Structure 1
């Protein structure tokens, strides 16, 4: 394919971060099987190539430090030079972090936001010039049900995933007139490597008084390998909505996510109504 030549068929060009495991890997494999063009990122290119195990010229494996703006910019430039366009961007890279706020250092907390939030913003910042020029594109940000309703002991993770939901909501409004769609995905528990050491950091400074936090962590870690969600079905659902003219802003994945979100809506409705008098008493 000639460098920078725009595709003249129905194939989409996908740019997917965090592609060497979990949802990212499932997405890459399914898309390549469907004949799509996929640029995929990982911190380790060789691990990514081995995990995907596909020598097709439709696959562009990229070693990218998503926290580094220059690395992100060069990866997107390379993708555009090879495939001639970028249609769907999936910001999937991230990791979990467990602990009460005072159990996690400032450095641990900032790193969690760097990878889970600022990396996503870096990709959006540097892909937007390509999407604006095309007047088309679909940005899909992977958050979590924790971004809608967090669980005890996961405050920093929930805060980061809340941030992804907030920035996606406003991004969708900002880019709508440019012909660009935005979806934020909030999965529940899926049978990926999320609850293993490669995707999850736990506090190294547990404080004895946080008994409920310890119990919560035990419950989550015990769930590993028994989550109800099928990552292959999740990937297929994300692919299905990509590029749809009526693509949702919010896409929840998993029955557990659905039920937790409805419970949060009920709680919000109750508390907002319960304190209506105090809320409205502050107006002039």
Structure 2
């Protein structure tokens, strides 16, 4: 399949969705299936979510960054090639305009109801020590791991699209209560995840005050063998899992949480994790 094409304004001022997203609504007549939005689906954990959800017959709306658009054909192949159940969009969480454009595309889908959103986009550049990291390096971690995900969720919530659950991919590195002093070189990354955790807790509290029952969750996926984790660490990394081993139970964790769990932090094993 050729690279994705970005949507362009049509003559009447409305945005035209790319041909890859022109899927007949009749394909979604099965009300038993759920609709998932996966942010950051080009590789690793995000791509594995797409694979498993497509295999389950769920409807998937997945995003890639613009720089990854040329790899869309490989993503389709790995996702199972089911063009009727999976739609691809471009969204770069480092760009507010890109986020707004993506949410506008979703808002243009008639009758869209989103059951689950997984905000998986993130980065970890190693090392990023507090005694060494540059201003720009620290800011890059915060923009990618904290600000981008929170603003993406914010814009989705402001769109008025009905949303059941928003799950943020967090990390045990971001826990203040279970500080991991062994993680030399993780300062900017851990700080960005701790900031994400606090922001999503505030988001959950704000929604409760508005009587909005959208569930907000943080999830630690475990130690997963992805490109982001492919670094030479000076300590033993135990319990390494494949993306498949991490994502399969995470899907169940996300689906099993209700409004009473909004603003809570869980592991892939469905265990509460300290903030």
1:195 has 2:229 as partner: yes
Residue number in structure 2 paired with 1:85: 113
What CA deviation, in whole Å up to 9, does each residue of 1:86-107 have, x standing for no partner? 2211110111132322321111
Residue number in structure 2 paired with 1:96: 124
Number of equivalences: 236
Residue number in structure 2 paired with 1:106: 135
Please report how far the alpha carbon of residue 246 of structure 1 lies from its aligned counterpart in structure 2 after TM superposition. Answer: 3.4
Name which of 201, 205, 217 aligns with 2:233. Answer: 217
Name which of 153, 156, 163 aligns with 1:124. Answer: 153
Q: Choose between structure 1 and 2: higher helix proportion.
A: 1
Q: Would the aligned equivalents of 1:190 and 1:228 in 2 still touch at CA under 8 Å? A: yes
Structure 1 CA distance for aligned equivalents of residues 223 and 55 of structure 2: 25
Residue number in structure 1 paired with 2:75: 51
| Structure possessing the higher relative contact order (Cα contacts under 8 Å, 6 or more residues apart) | 1
RMSD value over aligned CA atoms?
3.0
> Stretches of 4+ moved more than 6 A in 1?
5-8
What CA deviation, in whole Å up to 9, does each residue of 1:210-252 have, x standing for no partner? xxxxxx93336xx5xx753232132122211334353742211
Length-normalised TM-score, structure 1 = 0.73
Length-normalised TM-score, structure 2 = 0.75
1:68 has 2:90 as partner: no
Q: Would the aligned equivalents of 1:13 and 1:85 in 2 still touch at CA under 8 Å? A: yes
Structure 2 CA distance for aligned equivalents of residues 8 and 123 of structure 1: 28
SS in 2 for 1:60: strand
**Alpha-carbon distance change, 245 to 228 in structure 1, aligned in 2, over 3 angstroms:** closer
Q: Would the aligned equivalents of 1:185 and 1:250 in 2 still touch at CA under 8 Å? A: yes
Question: Matches of residues 151-170 of structure 1 in structure 2 within 5 Å?
Answer: 151-170=183-202
1:231 has 2:211 as partner: no
**Alpha-carbon distance change, 94 to 170 in structure 1, aligned in 2, over 3 angstroms:** same
**Alpha-carbon distance change, 77 to 57 in structure 1, aligned in 2, over 3 angstroms:** farther
Residue number in structure 1 paired with 2:57: 35
Q: Would the aligned equivalents of 1:2 and 1:82 in 2 still touch at CA under 8 Å? A: no
Q: Would the aligned equivalents of 2:28 and 2:59 in 1 still touch at CA under 8 Å? A: no
SS in 2 for 1:41: strand
The farther-off stretch of 187-196 and 112-121 is: 187-196
Structure 2 CA distance for aligned equivalents of residues 128 and 104 of structure 1: 34
Structure 2 CA distance for aligned equivalents of residues 109 and 192 of structure 1: 22
Structure 2 CA distance for aligned equivalents of residues 139 and 95 of structure 1: 19
Structure 1 CA distance for aligned equivalents of residues 63 and 150 of structure 2: 15
Please report how far the alpha carbon of residue 16 of structure 1 lies from its aligned counterpart in structure 2 after TM superposition. Answer: 1.1
SS in 2 for 1:51: helix
Structure 2 CA distance for aligned equivalents of residues 253 and 88 of structure 1: 16
* 5+ long unaligned stretches in structure 2: 1-22
Question: Matches of residues 244-283 of structure 1 in structure 2 within 5 Å?
Answer: 244-246=256-258, 248=261, 249-253=264-268
